[in-house]
């Protein structure tokens, strides 16, 4: 098993802030789009053990990095909001 710790970290961030990102649509398709777009702009941090994800979150993702992740997330949210591929809007 390999997992990109950033997938979990950015997904948690999106869940936490999705109601403050001025999204036109919060359907699963749009949220997945935002997540994929953000992850494609973020250096991966793959781990081979589940417990290492918490370790990565606690040690490698400091306040400043979380803030820059949030900025990146907001930018990607805007891109997807302006050109949603879902059919809800």
Give Dmax (Cα) for the chain: 40
List interacting residues with a second copy (CB under 8 A): 1-2, 4, 7, 29, 32-33, 35-37, 39-40, 42-48
Q: Give the shortest CB-56-to-a second copy separation in angstroms.
A: 11
Distances in Å between the alpha carbon of 13 and those of 27, 60, 71, 72, 87? 16, 15, 11, 11, 25
By beta-carbon proximity to a second copy, the closer residue of 48 and 64 is 48
By beta-carbon proximity to a second copy, the closer residue of 11 and 78 is 11
Q: How many CB atoms lie within 10 A of CB 9?
A: 21
By beta-carbon proximity to a second copy, the closer residue of 43 and 58 is 43
């Amino acid at each position: 098993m390999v997992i990109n710790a950033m997938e979990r970290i950015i997904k948690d961030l999106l869940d936490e802030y999705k109601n403050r990102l001025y999204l036109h649509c919060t359907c699963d398709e749009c949220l997945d789009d935002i997540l994929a777009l953000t992850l494609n702009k973020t250096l991966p941090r793959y781990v081979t053990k589940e417990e290492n994800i918490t370790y990565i979150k606690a040690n490698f993702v400091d306040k400043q990095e979380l803030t820059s992740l949030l900025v990146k997330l907001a930018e990607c949210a805007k891109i997807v909001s302006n050109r949603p591929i879902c059919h809800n809007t």
